[in-house]
Amino acid sequence: MKDPTIADIDARRQAAGKMVAPTAAYADSDMFKLQCSRKPAAKRWDNHLTDECLARAPGILKVAARFLKRPGMISLAGGLPGTDYFPFNSISAAIPAIPDEAGSNMSETESTITMGLHDIASGDATFDLSVALNYGQAAGSAQMIRWITEHTELVHNPPYADWDTCLTTGNTAGIYQALRMLCDKNRGDSWITEEYCYASALETALPMGIKTVGIKMDADGPIPEVMDELLTNWDAAKKGARKPHVLYTVPTGQNPTGSTQSAARKRAIYQVCQKHDIYILEDDPYYFLQLRSDLHSQHNPSKPSASTFLANLPPSFLSIDTDGRVMRIDSFSKVVVPGARMGWVTASEQMIERFIRHAETASQGPSGFSQALIYKLVDEKWGHQGFLDRLQHLQTEYTARRDVMLAAFDKFLPKSIVSWNSPSAGMFCWIRINHSLRPNAKLYSALDIEEEIFAACLKRGVLVAKGSWFRAEPDMPLNDVFFRLTFAASSAENMEVAVRTFGTALRSIFKLE
Q: What is the pLDDT of residue 461?
A: 97
Strand partners of residue 116:
90
**Dihedral of alpha carbons 483, 291, 192, 266, sign:** negative
Give the three-state DSSP class for 347: strand
Question: Is 193 found in the same domain as 272?
Answer: yes
Report yes or no: 181 and 49 within 8 Å, Cβ to Cβ.
yes
- Exposure string of 398-425, with b = 16+ CB inside 10 Å and e = fewer, is bbebbebbbebbeebbbeebbebeebbb
Count of Cβ atoms closer than 10 Å to residue 491 Cβ: 10
Higher pLDDT, 104 or 333: 333
Question: Is 384 found in the same domain as 445?
Answer: no
Q: What is the pLDDT of residue 64?
A: 67
Question: Is 192 found in the same domain as 68?
Answer: yes
pTM, full prediction? 0.94
Question: Is 351 found in the same domain as 204?
Answer: yes
pLDDT over 90 for what percent of the chain? Answer: 85
Could you please report the per-residue DSSP string of 194-256?
ESB--HHHHHHHGGGTPEEEEE-EETTEE-HHHHHHHHHT--HHHHTSPPP-EEEE--SS-TT
Give the C-alpha separation, 109 to 268, whole Å.
Answer: 47
Question: Is 252 found in the same domain as 335?
Answer: yes
Question: Is 405 found in the same domain as 351?
Answer: no
Q: How many domains does the chain have?
A: 2
Is the predicted pLDDT of residue 485 greater than 60, yes or no? yes
Q: From its phi and psi, is residue 199 left (phi > 0), alpha (psi between -120 and 50) or beta?
A: alpha
Give the C-alpha separation, 319 to 315, whole Å.
Answer: 6
Q: What is the pLDDT of residue 96?
A: 92
- Residues 125-156: pLDDT tens digits? 999 999 999 999 999 999 999 999 999 999 99
Question: Is 221 found in the same domain as 118?
Answer: yes
Give the C-alpha separation, 209 to 357, whole Å.
Answer: 22
Q: What is the pLDDT of residue 337?
A: 96
First to last CA, the chain: 63
The number of residues in the chain equals 513
- Exposure string of 6-27, with b = 16+ CB inside 10 Å and e = fewer, is bebbeebeeeeeebebebbbbb
102-116, 190-204, 251-265, 445-459: which has the minimum mean pLDDT? 102-116
Give the CA distances from residue 67 to residues 23, 26, 58, 167, in Å, rounded to whole numbers and listed in that order: 11, 9, 15, 22
- The contacts of residue 464 (CB under 8 Å, 6+ apart) are 454, 457, 483, 484, 485, 498, 502
Position 299 confidence tier, pLDDT thresholds 50, 70, 90: very low
Give the C-alpha separation, 443 to 181, whole Å.
Answer: 46
Question: Is 224 found in the same domain as 116?
Answer: yes
Q: What is the pLDDT of residue 215?
A: 98
Does any domain span residue 293?
yes
Does any domain span residue 470?
yes
Question: Is 464 found in the same domain as 328?
Answer: no
Is the predicted pLDDT of residue 22 greater than 80, yes or no? yes
Q: Where a domain ends, among 368, 393, 418?
A: 393
Q: What is the pLDDT of residue 105?
A: 52
Torsion angle, alpha carbons of 124, 126, 130, 132, to 10: -150
Does any domain span residue 48?
yes
Does any domain span residue 461?
yes
Q: Where does 24-183 show beta strands of DSSP type E?
A: 90-95, 111-116, 163-168
Average pLDDT, rounded, for the chain: 93
Q: What is the pLDDT of residue 48?
A: 96
- Residues 202-233: pLDDT tens digits? 999 999 999 999 999 999 999 999 999 999 99
Identify the domain containing residue 310 by its residue range.
6-393
For the residues 260-277, what does the mean pLDDT come to? 98
HSE of 443, CA atoms in CB hemisphere, 13 A = 3
CATH code at position 406: 3.90.1150.10
- Does a cis peptide bond (omega within 30 degrees of 0) precede residue 477? no
Compute CA 133 distance to the chain's CA centroid, rounded to the nearest angstrom. 25
Q: Where a domain ends, among 331, 358, 393?
A: 393
Best CA proximity match to 288, nearest among 151, 380, 173 = 151
- Residues 427-454: pLDDT tens digits? 999 999 999 999 999 999 999 999 999 9
Q: Where a domain ends, among 374, 393, 412?
A: 393
With residue 431 as reference, give the H or E element that holds it. strand 428-433
Q: What is the pLDDT of residue 151?
A: 98
Compute CA 108 distance to the chain's CA centroid, rounded to the nearest angstrom. 31
Instruction: Give the gyration radius of the chain's Cα atoms.
Output: 24
Question: Is 432 found in the same domain as 347?
Answer: no
Does any domain span residue 254?
yes
Q: What is the pLDDT of residue 52?
A: 95
Does any domain span residue 1?
no
Question: Is 140 found in the same domain as 42?
Answer: yes
Is the predicted pLDDT of residue 491 greater than 80, yes or no? yes
Best CA proximity match to 144, nearest among 464, 374, 336, 419 = 374
CATH code at position 94: 3.40.640.10
Q: What is the pLDDT of residue 80?
A: 83
Q: What is the pLDDT of residue 77?
A: 66
Position 298 confidence tier, pLDDT thresholds 50, 70, 90: very low
Is the predicted pLDDT of residue 178 greater than 80, yes or no? yes
Count of Cβ atoms closer than 10 Å to residue 31 Cβ: 14
Is the predicted pLDDT of residue 75 greater than 70, yes or no? no
Question: Is 473 found in the same domain as 352?
Answer: no
Give the C-alpha separation, 469 to 456, whole Å.
Answer: 17
